[in-house]
Amino acid sequence: MPGSSISPRFIAQFGEVADWIFDLDNCLYPASTGLFALIDQRMGAYIQRLLGVEADEARRIQKHHFHTHGTTLAGLMKEHGVDPHHFLADVHDIALDRVGADPRLVAGLGRLPGRKFVFTNGDAPYARRVLAAIGIGDQFEHLHDIHECELRPKPDRHGYELLCARFGIDPFRACMVEDMAQNLRPAKALGMTTVWVDNGSERGNHDFDPAHVDLRISNVADWLHDLLEDQ
């Protein structure tokens, strides 16, 4: 556990935080890896097969569902009756050779005081594969996935409330780290400290409000390294 060597800057900004909640995709690994693009491609192919449409129309439908319902899956379930287990297993069937362990991320998470959670709109099997690939699978108290949110994806407040209730998380002593700024809105409304990973992965978020973001960073590993560096 970190002790007196934690920087005064950390204590000033996050000294009251007891629980840390991290998004997964394009957050705990760099968006520049393009890993999520592989999932995006498989979503498009899934819609093509499901609806018998061409690639351009499949992409239009995919983005319509994303912007309207928060995730492509939510829209497909509501409007086309798609089985979420089948969809998630299909679109997450990707190689993970684009990502790897970052020693600074591993060290930074290890030094971070308090409990750590992953909160993802993906499913647990995929998330566990990614966490193992980037070398941090043993760093987290719990993995809160789309099924544990009762298939109501971020930014629906329901999933945030379920996570807090299950683990006794006091939102006023919690910090959420997320690459989609819109997903920080419910976290801030609940009382959490919010960190936006502004790394170019933002997709279709036209209602960004700086009032919901306490800190803006570009890379989690860099941020933790700098934040926890002895001073």
Neighbours of 185 (CB within 10 A): 20
What is the span of the domain harbouring residue 83?
A: 35-91
Tokens representing residue 152 in the block: 């109501």
Is residue 2 one of the residues assigned to a domain? no
Tokens representing residue 35 in the block: 């890993």
Tokens 């999520």 map to which residue? Answer: 36
Same domain membership, residue 124 and residue 224: yes
The pLDDT of residue 208:
64
The pLDDT of residue 68:
86
The pLDDT of residue 10:
85
Tokens representing residue 110 in the block: 């290890």
E runs forming strands in the chain: 19-22, 115-119, 142-144, 174-178, 193-197, 215-217
pTM reported for the whole predicted model: 0.92
Same domain membership, residue 169 and residue 77: no
Is residue 65 one of the residues assigned to a domain? yes
SS3 content of the chain, % helix, strand, coil (to 5): 50, 10, 40
Encoded amino acid at 137, one letter: G
Domain boundary among 71, 91, 111: 91
Tokens representing residue 75 in the block: 């829209």
CATH number of the CATH domain containing 68: 1.10.150
Is residue 3 one of the residues assigned to a domain? no
Domain boundary among 72, 91, 110: 91
Burial of 12 (0-12, 13-18, 19+ CB in 10 A): exposed
CATH number of the CATH domain containing 23: 3.40.50.1000
Same domain membership, residue 148 and residue 55: no
Q: Please give the Cα distance from 123 to 159 (Å, whole number).
A: 13
Backbone angles phi, psi at 126, to 5 degrees: -65, -45
Is residue 1 one of the residues assigned to a domain? no
Is residue 147 one of the residues assigned to a domain? yes
Encoded amino acid at 103, one letter: P
The pLDDT of residue 44:
96
Same domain membership, residue 61 and residue 22: no
Is residue 18 one of the residues assigned to a domain? yes
Same domain membership, residue 190 and residue 81: no
The per-residue pLDDT string of the chain (231 residues; one tens digit each, 9 = 90 and over) reads 444 466 788 888 899 999 999 999 999 999 999 999 999 999 999 999 999 999 999 999 998 998 888 789 999 999 999 999 999 999 999 999 999 999 999 999 999 999 999 999 999 999 999 999 999 999 999 999 999 999 999 999 999 999 999 999 999 999 999 999 999 999 999 999 999 999 887 754 555 678 899 999 999 999 999 988 754
Report the domain count for the chain. 2
Same domain membership, residue 159 and residue 219: yes
